[in-house]
Structure 1
Amino acid sequence: MSHLSRTLPLKRAAHVYLVQDKHLLLVEERMDDGSIFYGLPGGKALAGENLGDAAVRQVKLETGLTVTDLNFVSLLEGEMLTGTRNETYAMFARFTAHFTGRIDPTDPEVVGVKWVPFAQVEGLVRYGPPPECEERNPLIWVPTRDFIAGNPRTYYPI
């Protein structure tokens, strides 16, 4: 039972499903290895910041859109990247929201913002190496797959 005595860094993040005409808004970001990663708008919460406020702030930064009326969809929680230098305990919230404004990202890591048809979302996801990269863990995408299919669960233990 030694694993109970370990202290893991906590990673809290919030992402928002922005939907328009059966399209999901995704951001394109350049990864450290130069590849392009497609993800939901949102990101890490700052110290002392709640997940809802993190979602609003990060969506504005990554897309230029203002989101309001957040509705909680799901929470993904558990240990990730065990045995790597990025080992962490993750709490990732997903919301839906109303949005206004125009797409105008100010995050320098964002190289594009795209409305992607539901049927094409999963085809853009790159699983696999590097193993230190939680975005490429298939479990991260299970809540999104369920959301697109119309049957999201509230809780996803990792």
Structure 2
Amino acid sequence: MSDEVRPPIAAAVIVRDGKVLLVKRRVKEGSLSWQFPAGEVEAGETGSQAAVREAKEETGLTVAEVKVLGERVHPNTGRTMIYVACDVVEGEASVVDDEELVEVAWSDGKQITEYVPYPFYGPVQEHLDATLSS
């Protein structure tokens, strides 16, 4: 096991018209296959900048940070996660990074457990409860 500190992962929690954007990873991370657009924070970047960049690189969407929802060590992956609420500025979501992703989906509050059958981190769930249509 390496002592090297791995950079945190920034996740873009993108809600538009009462639905949240989820991406399906080509390779599962633990039990995770559907998740938010996300990736490692690069040197010199904030978590918010990384979330915005990753959304663009993975889905083609231009998004803007609304607020950081919270940070935690993910119980399944052991990685530090930074969750950033984002609004769509322009574009339509699609699979841009086809090496990492196989599908994108917009989910409302009722459908979300079909994609993600486990509970979200508390502050993320509160944000989704407040912004998703049921």
Q: TM-score per shorter chain, which class?
A: 0.7 to 0.9
Q: Rate the CA distance shift 1:79–1:102 in 2: closer, same or farther, 3 A.
A: closer
Kindly indicate whether residue 114 of structure 2 is the aligned counterpart of residue 118 of structure 1: no
- Distance in 1 (CA, whole Å) between partners of 2:74 and 2:18 is 32
The 1-side partners of 2:59 and 2:130 are apart by 24
1:77 lines up with 2:68 in the alignment: no
Question: CA RMSD for the aligned pairs?
Answer: 2.9
Match of 2:34 in 1: 38
What's the counterpart of residue 44 of structure 2?
A: 48
CA positional deviation for 1:123: 3.0
Higher helix share: 1
Q: Normalised by the size of structure 1, how large is the TM-score?
A: 0.65
Residue type matched to 1:121 in 2? I
Stretches of structure 1 lacking an aligned partner (at least 5 in a row): 1-6, 128-137, 152-158
Instruction: Give the number of the structure with larger relative contact order, counting CA–CA contacts within 8 Å between residues 6 or more apart.
Output: 2
Q: Name the count of aligned residue pairs.
A: 127
AA in 2 matched with 1:56: V
Instruction: Report the TM-score, using the length of structure 2 for normalisation.
Output: 0.74
Give the superposition deviation at 1:91.
4.2
Match of 1:156 in 2: none
Q: Between Structure 1 and Structure 2, whose CA radius of gyration is higher?
A: 1
Instruction: Give yes or no for contact 2:60–2:95 (8 Å, CA) kept in 1.
Output: yes
Structure 2 Cα separation of the partners of residues 74 and 13 of structure 1: 14
In the alignment, structure 2 segments of 5+ residues that lack a partner are none
